[in-house]
Chains A and B, each alone.
Chain A
Amino acid sequence: MEDGLSIQFTVNGRSHTLKVAVHHTLLDVLRDDLGLTGTKECCLVGECGACTVMVNGRIVDSCLMLAVEADGTEIRTVEGLASDRRLSPLQQAFLDRGAVQCGFCTPGQLMAAHALLSANSHPNLGDVQEGLAGNLCRCGCYLQIADAVLSVAEGEVR
């Protein structure tokens, strides 16, 4: 493409070098250029968290990050949570605890929860609610989501 910039980043452990339009966000590139449609598009103003991914170990709203800013970073998306085709304990907990209804906010919730647990392996309910407050769920699964996250923290995943 014309007027693109070449960037290199690692997504879910795999290195990519690609040319991106400078005005495209990380969300655009993940979904449209790399075909990783697990990360979702909703508000595009950094309010709903549906586009949450991890960049260098921290969650961000990928709709507010230009793809070019991700040059040289390590990115993890929902597609990178499972390993060897097995769901992660957190993903399994979401299923077991009913933390999923329509599922559209789920990838973002999982990333936020994953980041929370990576930084704090023993969160309390307040920590979980605050840590995931940037992820809107209109189906209203909040309690079950918190339950799932706490169950992983307490090592209760089956």
Chain B
Amino acid sequence: MQTFVYERPTTLAEAVALLDTHGSDARVLAGGTDLVIRLRDGSARPAIVIDVKRIPEMCPTIRERDGIVTIGATTVMTDLAANETVRRHFGALAEAAAVVGSVQIRNRATVAGNICNASPAADTAPPLLVYGAVVVAAGPGGTRRIPMDDFFVRSGVTTLAPSELVVAIEIPVPVGRTRAAHVRRTRRRGHDLASVTLCCSVDEKGLTRLAYGSVGPRPVLVTDESGVLADPAAPDEAKAAIFERMFAGASPSKRSMRAGPEYRLAMLRVLGSRAVRAAIERLAESRQVEA
């Protein structure tokens, strides 16, 4: 790979200033599991690489306070998947983090990197969307909060300004009982990029939130407020109709090597119904546990 200037700022202000100065000539380095590959194959040729792992505001801690769980940007998948708070409140996010690559990858890949890389197939994206996560971004003008659904634009592109950094991800602890499941399609059981990645939550009021990725330029969030999907007794045809509406926006790539468009669209429906069923079962189990 070609060389670059390596900066390792120790304050957020320093990092933001570097981004502000260098703009698109700079790339942010967190876990490196996407960036180093691009540096090597030449698809990224930054003049400056900014290593953000020593910045306290971005450090890999997970805190719960006042009904919000804050996940530091450089939290790695291994820790996200193992964290008690995440497992308790956002089980599907822990599930998704646990299948990103191999142990070696998960020990380095960060949740912020996953969303900033903005691959449509990012596995943490569907759960983050379903759980209503909010991205905390810091830039020269200060800090702002971006709802997850407003964060993704298309493959490799987010609504972050060129001199903004993701500092943390905040997820509101669900009010009321809700359970979710994450499922994905891969070409083998071993670690793989997903050809479809999907997360679905149902809550006691019958609200279903479903997000899917790798079937279009960005992950998509859809909801069903009718209560039909969340109802275990509702007939399959009724659910199928809702899935049709939900997946109408899916536009799988015709050129993908991982899976063809027809298969992906079909798997959306298969995975969607499996994820809904799993979420419903988990919700039912959680009621029994308390009863």
Contact = CB atoms under 8 A, between A and B. Distances in A.
Contacts of B154: none
A120 to B, nearest CB: 12
Contact of B104 (A44, A60, A130): A60
Interface stretch (A20-28, A77-85, A90-98, A145-153): A20-28
A133 interface: yes
Q: How many B residues touch the partner, as a band?
A: 20 to 34
B240 interface: no
Contacts of B105: 46, 61, 64, 134
Interface stretch (B29-37, B176-184, B195-203, B223-231): B29-37
A32 B49 CA distance: 23
Given A3-B3, A22-B5, A49 B37 contact: no
A61 B104 contact: yes
B32 A64 contact: yes
Interface in B3-22: 3-6, 8
Contacts of B39: 23
B67 interface: no
Given A22-B3, A64-B36, A66-B32, A133 B103 contact: yes
B4 A46 contact: no
B53 interface: yes
A58 B78 CA distance: 10
A68 B6 contact: yes
Contact of A134 (B5, B32, B36, B102): B102
A101 B33 CA distance: 29
Given A3-B3, A66-B6, A112 B103 contact: yes
Interface in A36-73: 44-47, 49, 52, 58-61, 63-66, 68-69
Interface of A: 3, 5, 21-23, 25, 44-47, 49, 52, 58-61, 63-66, 68-69, 112, 115-116, 130-131, 133-135
